[in-house]
Every structure is written in C-alpha cells, then in structure tokens.
Amino acid sequence: MTRAEAKERNRRALLDAALEVVARDGYRARLEEIAARAGLTTGAVYSLFGSKNGLVVALADEHLRPHYEEIGQAVPAGLGLLEAVDAFARHYRRGLDAPDARSALSLQITLLDMALHDPELGARLATSVREQEDQLVALFAGRPHLGGAVTPHQARRLTTALRALLTGLGQGVPLGLAPDADEEFFAAAARALASGVSLVGEV
C-alpha cells in the first residue's frame, strides 16, 4: 500500500468512526473514542483534519457534496428560472423517500445542535454549506425570468430562501408535520417563492 493509499484509508476510517460517534453523542462526541474506533490515534485526526472540528466539517461536506452534485443532473440547462426551481424542488422531495433519508435528517439535526454549542464549529459549517450552495447559485444565475436574466446576486438570495423553505418542509415530512407535502406541493411552494421579482431581488 502506498503512502497516499494509507492516508486515504485512515481518512475513510476516521470519517466512518466520526459518523457513528457523532450520530450517537452529538456535541459530546470525544475525539479519543473516534480515533479508537478507527484503530488510530488522535494524532492522525490532527494530521489529516487539523482538529475535531475539522473532522466534523469534513463529515458534513461528505454528506452534502453528493446532494449538490446530483442537482446539476436533475435541473437541465435551457430551462427558465421557474422551471429550474420546479425541477430542483421535485428532486429535493424525491430525496426524502431515499432509504437513508431519516439517518441524513438525524445527522443534519445533530450537526445543527453541535453548531449551536460551538460557535467556531458553527461558523465553519456555515462556510461549508455556502460553498456547496455556490453550485446552486451558478445553476440559477443567468436563467431567463420575467423578461430578463437572473443575476448572481438574485440567484444567491433565491438559494437562501429555497434552503429555508425546503429544509423546513423536508424536516416536516418524516416527522409527520407535512403529511400532504408530496412532490407537487414542494414544486408549487418553490415556484411561488421564486415567482415575484421582489423575492428574487433587484440587483
């Protein structure tokens, strides 16, 4: 095994161990236990991730990245803004029926709890989410809407609003708080959010 392969193996082992311990213990997760579960020392964590928070951010990145990478395939080029938002919302809703949807929601809530207990971690997680959302901003920017083209500033405002809308609905579905929120409901709510100029922004 090469040095690079060993490094990747250790990285993978730490991320898998972190998922187990963080999902169970949240902000009380101990770095020593994560390292022990991975068959490594805490020194490996510092070497590969810089800190416990660095490991947690990497864990969040790993679970966010596939979601945002799939969006580009779900929302074809050439659609107007409302059609693109519709396609995105439907893709988001379908993801809630995936076999791992409940465990993903559990991790999402756990990471939020950890962020509230640790402002430094919260700031790093927020930066990580914004970096992932840049893909969504790029996906909406430039699309035709109401006789013009969506600017990057407008696309970012819309992305922020859609995150709030779909995250809230996405939590409500498995908790039984939005029993009638099917794919059509998600799409209609997202289109309504994006339809007004004032909601998209003026710049």
Tens of pLDDT, residues 107-146 = 989 999 999 999 999 999 999 989 889 999 999 999 999 8
Domain 52-200 has CATH 1.10.12: no
Beta-carbon contacts of 180 under 8 Å, excluding residues fewer than 6 positions away, are none
pLDDT given for residue 198 in this prediction: 46
pLDDT given for residue 202 in this prediction: 57
Domain ranges across the chain: 1-50, 52-200
pLDDT given for residue 22 in this prediction: 93
Tens of each residue's pLDDT in the chain, 203 residues: 898 899 999 999 999 999 999 999 998 999 999 999 999 999 999 999 999 999 999 999 998 888 888 888 899 989 999 999 999 999 999 999 989 888 888 998 999 999 999 999 999 999 998 988 999 999 999 999 988 899 999 999 999 999 999 999 999 998 889 989 999 999 999 999 998 744 455 55
* pTM given for the model: 0.84
pLDDT given for residue 147 in this prediction: 87
The domains spanning 1-50 and 52-200 adopt the same CATH topology: no
pLDDT given for residue 9 in this prediction: 96
pLDDT given for residue 175 in this prediction: 86
CATH class of 1-50: mainly alpha
Cα end-to-end distance, the chain, whole Å = 53
